A and B are shown apart, each in its own frame.
Chain A
Amino acid sequence: SYVLTQPPSVSVAPGQTARITCGGNNIGSKSVHWYQQKPGQAPVLVVYDDSDRPSGIPERFSGSNSGNTATLTISRVEAGDEADYYCQVWDSSSDHYVFGTGTKVTVL
């Protein structure tokens, strides 16, 4: 089965840039989605199809995808960005969705 690997944690100071990676075999050929989840809440889609943002998501959230790594970038990090972030793909070979292992972002 397809596996997506994320770093367990990322720490960033307010105003700086956080980069969260998502590794998978030839992930660049797939459409990657990213979710933000705060404690006690349902996940929220922040980037879809590698780099598109749903309405209402700040431009500070951006995504890229190439080769074996997809990246979610959060620019000008704010305290409210502290959350768990998950990447996700649709694996067409198995007709399954797959979630990454999740990354906890801590704002220092």
Chain B
Amino acid sequence: QVQLVQSGAEVKKPGASVKVSCKASGYTFTSYGISWVRQAPGQGLEWMGWISAYNGNTNYAQKLQGRVTMTTDTSTSTAYMELRSLRSDDTAVYYCARAGYCSGGSCYHTVGFDYWGQGTLVTVSS
């Protein structure tokens, strides 16, 4: 069965960086992309970006450009999201999700985010 297991909760000081991992199992990792989504307390879902596990191509939300980096390690089927220069408004639950089916050099975004990690709470506080 498909599973995405994320790393544990983090507490960081303003200005620091955080790196969250998302280990995938139960499917061919390089046949899909991974998206990262965050949710601040009491707020809606915010898409952060997407990475193709097929070729490493990335797309980041404009709001986070320059502060976020998404990577994958295909040898361990793990995706990573690093967010730098943390601020208090980065406090949120961060989710990874399987997103986009990739085949023959193209990725297709008509399948939605069909599997999600359990979420990782990142708290930014001095």
By a beta-carbon cutoff of 8 Å, the part of chain A in contact with chain B is 1, 31, 33, 35, 37, 42-45, 48-49, 54, 84, 86, 88, 90, 92, 95-102
Q: Could you count the A-B residue pairs with CB atoms below 8 Å apart for me: how many are there?
A: 63
Cβ contact within 8 Å between B45 and A96: no
Number of B residues near A (Cβ < 8 Å) is 24
Please classify the interface of chain A as helix (H, G, I), strand (E, B), loop, or mixed, using the class held by over half of its residues.
Answer: strand
By a beta-carbon cutoff of 8 Å, the part of chain B in contact with chain A is 35, 37, 44-47, 50, 59, 61-62, 95, 97, 99-100, 109-114, 116-119
Task: Across the interface, name the chain A residue whose C-beta is closest to B58.
Answer: A95
| Neighbouring B residues of A86 by C-beta, 8 Å | 44-45
| Neighbouring B residues of A95 by C-beta, 8 Å | 59
Cβ contact within 8 Å between A102 and B44: yes
Cβ contact within 8 Å between B95 and A99: no
Cβ contact within 8 Å between A31 and B109: yes
| Neighbouring A residues of B100 by C-beta, 8 Å | 90
Cβ contact within 8 Å between A48 and B44: no
